[in-house]
Structure 1
Amino acid sequence: MSAKPKTTEPKLPVLKGQDAEDAVLEYLKRMNRPFGAVDVSANLKGAVPKTATQKILVALADKGEIVQKTYGKTTFFVANQANLEDMPAEKLAALEAEHKALEEENKALAAEVRTATTELAKLRNTPTDAELSVELQRTIGAVEKARARLQPLRSGAPLVTADELTQLDTEWARWRTEWVRRRKIFLTFWQMVTDALTPQEADELAEELGIEHDTLEHVAIERGPLCVPAGVQVLGKRRR
């Protein structure tokens, strides 16, 4: 993969003499804030070299075009405020009116942006036609499956006989007893193995060995009506 060519800004021609001086003075007047020679040269994109900029600034200060201020070892230059054009009251009022109008326009645009952002969020959360079609087909399939399961009930056919319920009760009691026995053996063995371990170490060991403890579904079944003491409930009949 070839490297992308670096984009470089076009280099401005170097100004000399009066052109350089005019450029420096015009920049300070336009910005009307203190700058050092390095900043002025950098902001002019190198059109006036740093050394020349320093000499021009000193010369302009000697002429009174700009003011030179020294703070410690740092020297700043700023346009001479006495030489700047006074702002007529009419022009100032017009600028203030323009500023106010722009502020109002900005508020209106900000409100439009908020409205558009809200609408965009709604559109992004709305399923597409393709997604709706998939969901519709899934729902239709679920309805058809449910109707097929209800069909025996509607036709009056018996679902489970008494003998089948008794067989289910017997199988359930048998395999649950076996499960309880095996769980008790595991818990006893696991207590012996992890007795000297911290809870965190025990969890790490269980994860390393791939041991899966009872899930919330298992706990719910154990606490549910299927696991009440024998004689209180069977699958087919519940004592009220």
Structure 2
Amino acid sequence: MPPKRKKSLVDRSTESPAPDDNFDVASVASIPSTASATPVKPKAKKPKVERAEKIDKVKAPPKAKAPAKEKAPPKDKEDKKEVKDAKGKVKTVTGDEAQDVLLSYLSRENRPFSAGDISGNLHGKVTKTLTDKLLKELANAGLINGKGTNGDGKGSQWVYWPLQDPNSSLSPEELANMDTEIEDLRAKMPELKMEVKKVGIKLGGLKNEIGVTELRERIERLEEGKREKNGRLEALIKGGAKVVKKQEVDRVGKEFAYWSKMKGVRKRGFQAVEGALLEGMSREDIWEKAGIEGDEDL
């Protein structure tokens, strides 16, 4: 429904007032005329803008929920085992096959085991629960030996081991001989340890020695030096070089030693005379006046 339109002020001013019986016409005539004055401009009417009706917002329909995903049916245990087999894991066995596996393991190891140890050593080939059950059945049947920490009481820890052949046991004499042999071997251990230590030291020294490869390299270098010296010798022989005798070499050596000694004696005498003259003159002046030429470091 559109809103009611309000009456404007202009409309109210144009309405004619109700006539008054006591109205004095003479008083109106005595009022000076204002026609000559500036006429008053009538107020312009502003167009009335009708308010638009409120438009109700159309709400979007709620989104439909996606259907819940159906859960995949649980895989059977048999499928799970097949996956393990495909990955290379040990396949579990049951029944008579599991019993044979346990008997074979105990006979092979020939020592006491608990059910958990056997199942773990077999890498789960026979489950722990089945191992415990089968071992108790085998012990009750007399196929293996079994003993609990508390007997048949609750919480008893059981161990199982294979049956032992009574004929395979050793006699007291055999046991005594074995003890004697063990003592003899223990007595030899210190001597053998010392021998091992000596051999180890010798081995360390051999490792520090020159190897075969290095020896071959040294031999090759010596052979090369030998060939070089032989070449020089052949050149001297073919060139007609004078051969010096041993006596001549000894004579020249003695003369060289004599004059080397005399050089030292003369050098000390020269230095003594020069030292006396250096008190009043410089070395350059002395050598220049004496006409000495040579190395000043002599």
Q: Structure 2-normalised TM-score?
A: 0.32
Q: Which has the larger radius of gyration?
A: 2
Structure with greater proportional helix content: 1
Structure with greater contact order relative to length (CA < 8 Å, sep ≥ 6): 1
Q: Structure 1-normalised TM-score?
A: 0.38
